[in-house]
């Protein structure tokens, strides 16, 4: 008999943060006051917070010790040099510009590389990434494989680029109109789906042929690397850290939201191999973020980030992180809840179209379902569907994405298996009572990234 060992956490708990329990009657009032938008709830009114895995990880004792080593000099902080060498060592990029978080890096690279009228192909959009591309005058073009838009497709690498779509676009628009291809590891909006190394190598070969750069959104690169190790031929014996290094080596620059993979509450960076682009970014960062040796982060935060990066690439860590997500996903699948398949790496994505077939997409089914789950149990999730997709830049109409999802995002190293069980019980209960859930009407819509602040009323 082979020895079985489950994914249990490679750490023990040293400090806890109490949370408050609320009643269903209170939660009905809170969500109504929040305009049925889980982003507008107060966190003290939330029991288990699955809004996001961004900035919500538990830091290690090493990271907290690093916080005490903050060198808060305005210029030339020791922590910056530690962070810079850590990024060079683990990710292999040559130059580093720190930013306050991921979208700060997206802003810089978009302003530097994109001209009015350009096209930016990518493996599905991400909200802030696409907005910065548009604000710089570009148009995002989705070149992900069709399987990524199908929640039932079991294809293991739904983050892959459709090379035909990409080459057709290059031929149609001309390589000079495409400043770079935007590649995310993993693809958040598709359900946390990885890209394969084979596909990334092919994208590299194709972009080399036309002289086009690849900008890597490396926000969850360790999770992507782990899925390559699990699923792709030839990688099972390699450490995750080596796979990460190879992924990065196939790209020219990277934007990072350190608030995810890298286990810190705040921070990000732009990493670049081209010295001229680096020089421009290093100049522009002082306009929008802060001096080039802190870019909007405190010295102590850069120290925690440098340590977080080294922890995030360890096989034991990433196995437990993804293991917990899969534990919840398997439980929900076993009770017949429609979720995106295969199970992703940072959360479970419920298919709200299938969960609530009596609601049309303009009744905001995922938004309504997130509100119902909160009312039932105080578990906070978020919408990733028509509200997140925003409006078409030209026509002003809603974008109608095929994926209408509720994301149950799991913070890293924060919740226990018992929390996962409670979450599953709540979703199962709401599913049993799904026929009584009504749709929503949008009554307030902000201009940018509307999902954060939009307000709704029950129909
Ligand atoms: O939230 P930022 O500005 O640090 O990073 C923006 C960002 C860029 N790329 C990807 C793939 C993200 O997931 C991302 C932020 N994601 C959030 C906040 C989330 O809840 O998924």
Q: pLDDT, tens digit, for every residue of 237-263?
A: 999 999 999 999 999 999 999 999 999
The per-residue pLDDT for 393 is 83
What is the Å distance from ligand 1's center to 432 Cα?
33
Q: Is the CB of 219 under 6 A from ligand 1?
A: yes
Q: Exposed, middle or buried: residue 27 (CB in 10 Å: 0-12, 13-18, 19+)?
A: buried
Which atom of ligand 1 sits closest to the CA of residue 103? Answer: 3
Non-local CB neighbours of 15 within 8 Å, separated by 6+ positions? none
Q: Is the pLDDT of residue 310 over 90?
A: yes
User: Which residues are annotated as catalytic?
Assistant: 74, 126-127, 217, 260, 384, 451
The per-residue pLDDT for 5 is 85
Average pLDDT, integer, range 180-200: 97
Whose alpha carbon is nearest atom 1 of ligand 1? 102
Q: Which residues of 194-216 are buried (b: 16+ CB within 10 A; e: fewer)?
A: bbbbebbebbbebbeeeebbbbb
The per-residue pLDDT for 385 is 96
The per-residue pLDDT for 293 is 98
Whose alpha carbon is nearest atom 6 of ligand 1? 102
CATH architecture, range 61-312:
3-Layer(aba) Sandwich (3.40)
The per-residue pLDDT for 154 is 97
Question: Which residue ranges make up each domain of the chain?
Answer: 24-53+315-458, 61-312
The per-residue pLDDT for 411 is 98
What is the Å distance from ligand 1's center to 102 Cα?
6
The helix (run of H) or strand (run of E) holding residue 390 is: none
Q: Is the pLDDT of residue 4 over 90?
A: no
Give the pLDDT confidence of 15-50 residue by residue, as tens digits: 999 999 999 999 999 999 999 999 999 999 999 999
pLDDT tier, 451 (very low <50, low <70, confident <90, very high otherwise): very high
Average pLDDT, integer, range 430-450: 97
Q: Indicate if 61-312 has the same CATH topology as 24-53+315-458.
A: no
Q: Using the Cα atoms of residue 149, residue 158, residue 90 and residue 14 in order, give the sign of their dihedral.
A: positive
In eight-state DSSP terms, residue 138 is -
Give the pLDDT confidence of 143-160 residue by residue, as tens digits: 999 999 999 999 999 999
Q: Is the pLDDT of residue 397 over 80?
A: yes
Non-local CB neighbours of 180 within 8 Å, separated by 6+ positions? 113, 120, 212, 213, 214, 215, 252, 253
Give the pLDDT confidence of 211-226 residue by residue, as tens digits: 999 999 999 999 999 9
Q: Is the CB of 128 under 6 A from ligand 1?
A: yes
Place of tokens 């109409």: 397
CATH no. for 24-53+315-458: 3.90.1150.10
Would you call the peptide bond into 186 cis, given omega within 30 degrees of 0 as the criterion? yes
pLDDT tier, 2 (very low <50, low <70, confident <90, very high otherwise): confident
**Rg from Cα positions in the chain:** 21
Q: Is the pLDDT of residue 435 over 90?
A: yes
The residues that bridge with 351 in the sheet, in sequence order, are 405
How confident is the prediction for the chain on average, in pLDDT? 97
Average pLDDT, integer, range 124-134: 96
Q: Is the CB of 296 under 6 A from ligand 1?
A: no
Average pLDDT, integer, range 295-306: 98
Q: Is the pLDDT of residue 7 over 90?
A: no
Token couple for 141: 């073009």
């Amino acid at each position: 008999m082979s020895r079985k060992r489950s994914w249990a956490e490679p750490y023990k708990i040293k400090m806890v943060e109490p949370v408050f329990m609320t009643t269903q009657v209170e939660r009905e009032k809170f969500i109504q006051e929040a305009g049925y938008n889980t982003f507008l709830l107060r966190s003290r009114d939330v029991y288990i917070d699955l809004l996001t895995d961004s900035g919500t990880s538990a830091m290690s004792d090493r990271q907290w010790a690093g916080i005490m080593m903050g060198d808060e000099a305005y210029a030339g902080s020791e922590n910056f040099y530690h962070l810079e060498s850590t990024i060079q060592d683990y990710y292999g990029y040559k130059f580093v510009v720190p930013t306050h978080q991921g979208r700060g890096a997206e802003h810089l690279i978009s302003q530097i590389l994109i001209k009015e009228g350009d096209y930016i192909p990518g493996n599905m959009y991400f909200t802030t990434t696409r907005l910065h591309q548009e604000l710089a005058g570009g148009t995002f073009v989705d070149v992900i494989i069709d399987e990524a838009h199908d929640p039932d497709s079991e294809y293991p690498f739904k983050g892959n680029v459709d090379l035909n779509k990409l080459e057709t676009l290059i031929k149609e628009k001309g390589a000079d109109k495409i400043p770079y291809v935007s590649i995310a590891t993993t693809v958040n909006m598709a359900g946390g789906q990885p890209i394969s190394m084979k596909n990334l190598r092919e994208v590299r070969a194709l972009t080399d042929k036309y002289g086009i750069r690849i900008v890597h959104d490396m926000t969850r690169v360790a999770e992507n690397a782990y899925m390559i190790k699990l699923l792709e031929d030839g990688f099972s014996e390699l450490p995750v850290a080596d796979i990460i290094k190879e992924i990065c080596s196939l790209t020219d620059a990277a934007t990072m939201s350190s608030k995810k993979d890298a286990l810190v509450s705040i921070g990000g960076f732009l990493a670049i191999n081209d010295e001229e682009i680096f020089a421009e970014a290093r100049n522009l960062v002082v306009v929008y973020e802060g001096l080039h040796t802190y870019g909007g982060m405190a010295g102590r935060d850069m120290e925690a980030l440098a340590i977080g990066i080294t922890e995030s690439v360890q096989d034991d860590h990433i196995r437990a992180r993804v293991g917990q997500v899969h534990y919840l996903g398997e439980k929900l699948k076993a009770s017949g809840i429609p979720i995106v398949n295969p199970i992703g790496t940072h959360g479970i994505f419920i298919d709200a179209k299938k969960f609530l077939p009596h609601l049309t997409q303009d009744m905001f089914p995922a938004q309504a379902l997130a509100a119902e789950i909160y009312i039932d149990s105080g578990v906070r999730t978020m919408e990733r569907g028509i509200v997140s997709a925003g409006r078409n830049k030209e026509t002003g109409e809603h974008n109608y994405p095929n994926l209408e999802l509720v994301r149950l995002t799991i913070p890293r190293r924060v919740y226990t298996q018992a929390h996962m069980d409670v979450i599953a019980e709540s979703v199962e209960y709401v599913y049993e009572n799904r026929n009584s859930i009504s749709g929503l009407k949008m009554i307030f819509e902000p201009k940018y990234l509307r999902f954060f602040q939009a307000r709704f009323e029950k129909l």
